[in-house]
Amino acid sequence: MKAFALYLLCSLALFGATASNFKETRYLFALDKNVTLEGFITFGEQNIIIEYVKPESKVLTYFEEKLTIQDQNGYRAVDAQSMPSLNYFFMIIKAVHDENSVLLDSFFDTTTKGDETLLIPKGVAAEVLEEVRIVRQAKKLKSLQVKIKNGDRITIEILD
């Protein structure tokens, strides 16, 4: 369950800007419940930082295949290599941010119509994800929807 929760949190990182204010809505199929979070994401040259500010404070940092989590319970680190799906997911996040089509093509079949891009996972990504839908407006990311094979969904809206 912890790995799945981390996977959901990490899905935020598909934003296209260097720093973005976002609202995330997760639908948790097993609980039939929606959860709403707000925060910021920043892409460094070699790291990704996700800072949640609502409903509670939490900071996730991905650097050199390690994820660190800082929240009200303290500070802990997770080795992404011990969780291959998490490691692949951060590689994909970075590829989307950097618009690395070669790497994206190795994980997804891509279809673009107007401002909407549909990513259908293949290979390892297909074991976890059903689809990823990205909507851009004037080439800027506006929203992202991730459908996971277990019925969970994540919808992210850029607020700035």
Task: State the DSSP H helix or E strand holding residue 157, giving kind and residue range, or none if neither.
Answer: strand 153-158
Continuous segment of H or E residues that includes residue 94: helix 84-98
Interior angle at CA 56, CA 50 and CA 59, nearest 5: 25
pLDDT given for residue 41 in this prediction = 84
State residue 29's pLDDT score. 95
Predicted confidence at residue 6, as pLDDT, reads 40
Residue 28 has a pLDDT of 93
> Stretch 75-85: mean pLDDT, rounded?
75
Please give the domain boundaries of the chain with CATH numbers for all domains.
2-158 (2.50.20.10)
